[in-house]
Structure 1
Amino acid sequence: MTTNEIEIAPNSALLVIDVQKGFDDEAFWGPRNNPAAEANTAALMDAWQRSGRPVVLVRHASSRSGSVLAPDQPGHAFKDFVEERREAAALHITKTVNSSFYGTPDLAEWLTARGIGQLVLAGIQTNMCVETTARMAGNLGYDVLVPLDATHTFDLAGPAGTRLSADELATATAVNLHGGGFARVVTTAQVLAAARDRLTA
């Protein structure tokens, strides 16, 4: 199946990962990419809620000293557009590591109990918690879709002075996930169109 032949299952779960206010702190994170990420994520949330498909909200509770995502910090809170849609979510997960599958309550257990086999992933950061969750989901046998334009990340320094821009890191994630067979990397528009097609079929 190509990315142009997307099918969205009636019970496909949308995972909205770590869309928290702390990621607005440019002094802490540095330059970001994709300013459309929030609007695209909101559009996906609205589409899922209109169709009765489940939305799962994942929030990071950092245990690192000084983190803007620590539970006692204002940055731990969801961004406003997520908070406004929070009550309609089917599940809330809190995690302290990159993968949404290592959180509370147990994501895999919840998905299995409901017979959910397809996941759509949006959120922050593209190359960190989104990519890690997608890799693990692919390993576990889920059909995983990642609308890359509903994610964003930040410039990052690596070993020996290496530095990659947020766009470069997002491209690497797309190649890793799609080329590696963990997930299909698509666009928000493709997912929204497929979700609508399912409703009108």
Structure 2
Amino acid sequence: MTTTTDGIALDPNAALVVIDVQQGFEDSAYWGPRNNPGAEDNITALLDAWQRTGRPVVLVRHDSVHPDSPLAAGTPGNAFRDFVEKRRADTALLVTKTVNSAFYGTPDLQEWLTAAGIGQLVPVGIQTNMCVETTARMAGNLGHRVLLPLDATHTFDLAGPAGLHLTADELATATAVSLHGGGFAQVVTTAQLLAATAE
């Protein structure tokens, strides 16, 4: 385990779980305003650091069952973004899912983690408050230690009941507070994780 000066403890076999970084999320007319334009650069940096240090990378793809979704299975939007696809050959596992949690996909993520002796996860990707948060919560419930680099995720503005509306930044903040404050995950930065991989 590598522990940095700021207290980030990173296992030598910690799994980077790259969630739903797919072409369909580029459809701003469908999804609306997003936050964190630096998310892709941070995900790329983490992918490269994980592969350079021999840590396992898990790719997760959302195969939407809704035919009008930009992520619908069999459509161009279902494909990974180019920077993920370019690094796909060096990944340890591909999980496909139709719901929010990567733990309800094929093949079984928990079964694979257990067999590989992996107890620490680093979820990144899209959307912060949806599939990333749900996966992090389940990982915590299943006993995994979760490091969540919030700046390697992004989401979109969202409308709720009775005229409620939260911006993407507000939703990301709520995710960080809920996961960290609730003990599901330790919210960190990409820079902290990169420092841990370099030590």
1:113 maps onto 2:115 in alignment: yes
Equivalent in the alignment of 1:71: 73
Q: Which of 81, 84, 87 is 1:85 aligned to?
A: 87
Contact residue 4 and residue 196 of structure 2 kept, 8 A: no
Residue 119 of structure 1 aligns with an amino acid whose one-letter code is L
Aligned pairs for 1:1-201 within 5 A: 4-197=6-199
Secondary structure of 1:19 counterpart: coil
Letter in 1 for 2:88: R
How many percent of aligned residue pairs carry the same amino acid?
74
Compute the displacement of 1:3 (Å): 9.6
Distance 2:33 2:26 in 1: 10
Aligned residue type for 2:137: R
Q: Which structure 1 residue ranges, 5 or more long, are not aligned?
A: none
Q: Assess if the C-alpha contact under 8 Å between 1:148 and 1:187 holds in 2.
A: yes
Deviations 1:7-27 (A, max 9, x none): 111111000000000000000
Q: CA deviation at 1:4?
A: 2.4
Could you tell me whether the CA contact under 8 Å between 2:4 and 2:195 is conserved in 1?
Answer: no
- Alignment partners' CA distance in 2, 1:134 and 1:64: 24
**Contact 1:3 1:184 (8 Å CA) reproduced:** no
Is contact 1:3-1:185 (8 Å) kept? Answer: no
Say which is worse superposed, 59-68 or 1-10, in terms of deviation.
1-10
Are the counterparts in 1 of residues 63 and 78 from structure 2 also a CA contact under 8 Å? yes
CA drift of 1:2 comes to 10
- Supply the RMSD in Å over aligned alpha carbons: 1.3
Q: Distance in 1 between matches of 2:26 and 2:147?
A: 25
Q: CA deviation at 1:65?
A: 3.0
Contact persistence 1:7–1:195 (CA under 8 A): no
Q: Deviations over 1:145-175 (max 9, x none)?
A: 1000000000000000100000000000000
Residues 61, 70 of structure 1: 8 Å contact kept: yes
Normalised by the length of structure 1, the TM-score is 0.96
In 2, Cα distance between equivalents of 1:40 and 1:46: 10
Q: Across the two proteins, how many residue pairs are aligned to each other?
A: 197
SS in 1 for 2:187: strand
Tell me which amino acid in the other structure corresponds to 2:188: V
